[in-house]
Structure 1
Amino acid sequence: MNKDVEKILYTEEKLEDKIRELGRQISEDYQGKEIILIGILKGSVIFMSELAKNIKVPCNLDFMDVSSYGNSSETSGVVKILKDLDFEIKGKDILIVEDIIDTGVTLKYLTKYLKSRNPNSLEIVCMLNKPDRRKAEINVKYIGYEVPDFFLVGYGLDYAEKYRNLPYIGILKEEIYR
């Protein structure tokens, strides 16, 4: 897998440092509250598990599986909810956890969908933000890193379900996905 990576953008150590920083900020902002972290499958799993360990306020974990990509590397624009929440979120403080925000199409749909369920608050945290590809405006409260428009893998990010388990985030060689 490592041979398919052109360049490492963020080492495991850099990611851990950034997640500790995000955890501290979230813990300060939600002091005295209980939050529900909603991880968007599958990419957010590694980030969410590390983030949860660094949040010092009570939190529950839940997951949604939402797709607008299917088996493609380009969004179809049609959002499908493949797995909904197990918890009721009415009156709760919600933090959506994303590995990367790309076009924003899926997340815009998802935030509207979740807001219709009347949470007390709804915010977003992402490890990576790719603003150059944005097609839908969304507000992201917590951002790990702004990244350029490269095909990134590792730390939950995949190509064809591979590379998620790399302990770093790197740029996938173009000949792999073209």
Structure 2
Amino acid sequence: MENQSTFGEVMITEEQLKQRIKELGKQISEDFKGEEILVVCILKGAVLFLSDLIREITVDTKIDFMAVTSYGASTKSSGVVRILKDLDTGIEDQNVIIVEDIIDSGITLHYLRDYLMGRMPKTLKICTLLDKPERREADIKADYTGFEVENKFIVGYGLDYDQKYRNLPYITCLEGCEI
């Protein structure tokens, strides 16, 4: 593991993550009781969150994956959204929940929501582990939110900086990497 001195304080502990994800899974299960859902994981950052979340959901659940980017190796969104991997299945007349690691500027998720709505799902909801409303540039709001975080460059539990630090079991920030 990388030198711990590159990180700031632990913002959300492993135990806090587990507890909140359990609560989100229960809420989603109640909201879709008797229904089937398709959970769309946004790669790569949301994979760990998805894995833990779907184990807490009690309704029939299918999964699919998309990869989108507006960051590259930068700490700020370029504003240009690219779909790197689209869904493998159709979503027409399905209850779809987009599972995202963090909503920052909201540009990527706003684009993705509009893109998927064009495929005529029965419902389309957004579930994000982290929300950073201070940075919002697009009109987007999650239906299910794990934690609101301050305006720092967040890493850990799937979130990365240049593909590193995803394996941390907690949420922290990069020291000296203010946005």
Deviations 1:18-64 (A, max 9, x none): 00000000000000110000010100000000000000001111110
Please give the alpha-carbon distance, in whole angstroms, between the structure 1 residues aligned to 2:153 and 2:72.
17
Please give the alpha-carbon distance, in whole angstroms, between the structure 1 residues aligned to 2:116 and 2:165.
30
1:133-172 superposed matches below 5 A: 133-172=135-174
Query: Which contiguous aligned blocks of 4+ residues in structure 1 show a shift greater than 6 angstroms?
Result: none
Aligned to 1:128: 130
Mapped contact 2:130–2:149 kept (Cα < 8 A): yes
Deviations 1:105-156 (A, max 9, x none): 0000000000000000000000100000000011311001111101111000
Aligned to 2:33: 31
Aligned to 1:82: 84
Aligned to 1:15: 17
TM-score calculated relative to the size of structure 1: 0.96
Aligned length, in residue pairs: 177
* CA RMSD of superposed structures (Å): 1.2
Alignment partner of 2:152: what SS?
coil
Alignment partner of 1:137: what SS?
coil
Identity over aligned residues, as a percent? Answer: 51
Please give the alpha-carbon distance, in whole angstroms, between the structure 1 residues aligned to 2:13 and 2:131.
17
Please give the alpha-carbon distance, in whole angstroms, between the structure 1 residues aligned to 2:10 and 2:174.
9
Kindly provide the amino acid, as one letter, of the partner of residue 174 in structure 1: G
Please give the alpha-carbon distance, in whole angstroms, between the structure 1 residues aligned to 2:141 and 2:175.
31
Any stretches of 5+ residues in structure 1 without a counterpart?
Answer: none
Alignment partner of 2:84: what SS?
strand
Q: Which has the higher strand share?
A: 2
Kindly provide the amino acid, as one letter, of the partner of residue 59 in structure 1: T
TM-score calculated relative to the size of structure 2: 0.96
